């Protein structure tokens, strides 16, 4: 009679415990990204449901604005992606669309410099996610 190896059962239990502990961390990271405030150099995708011509990738310029089809310049400096969604929805609703559904997703983050004592200065992209 052969004995069954109990290790796979313990491994499965350990895996479930680890994943259960890590789930809140994943939610916290998503929450941090949703609180991210855009500034010049950030790029994000704006998607308007069923409106291909209005679904674009935009970059925040030095004045803190983006150029959006139909609307022209839209000030987004210091806004979260969720706030940008609401602002574009508000501006499109009525004069252009009856019930726009807008989604904003970060595409790339601006470069910023970290001061260090060095012979050269270099920037790097840092993804907060």
Q: What would the pLDDT profile of 42-58 be if each residue is shown by its tens digit?
A: 999 999 999 999 999 99
Q: Which residue has the tokens 């022209």?
A: 72
Q: How far apart, in whole angstroms, are the C-alpha atoms of residue 44 and residue 22?
A: 28
65 vs 6, higher pLDDT: 65
pLDDT at 5 over 80: no
pLDDT at 61 over 90: yes
pTM for this model (two decimals): 0.65
pLDDT at 116 over 70: no
Which of 85, 67, 64 lies closest to 75, judged by CA? 64
């Amino acid at each position: 009679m052969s004995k069954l190896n109990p290790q796979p059962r313990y491994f499965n239990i350990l895996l479930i415990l680890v994943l259960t502990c890590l789930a809140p961390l994943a939610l916290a990271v998503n929450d941090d990204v949703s609180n991210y405030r855009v500034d010049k150099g950030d790029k994000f995708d704006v998607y308007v449901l069923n409106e291909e011509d209005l679904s674009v990738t935009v970059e925040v310029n030095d004045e803190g604005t983006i150029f959006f089809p139909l609307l022209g310049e839209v000030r987004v400096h210091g806004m979260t992606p969720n706030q940008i969604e609401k602002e574009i929805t508000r501006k499109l609703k009525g004069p252009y669309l009856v019930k726009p559904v807008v989604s904003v997703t970060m595409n790339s983050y601006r470069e910023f410099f970290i001061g260090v004592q060095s012979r050269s200065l270099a920037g790097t992209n840092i993804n907060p996610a």
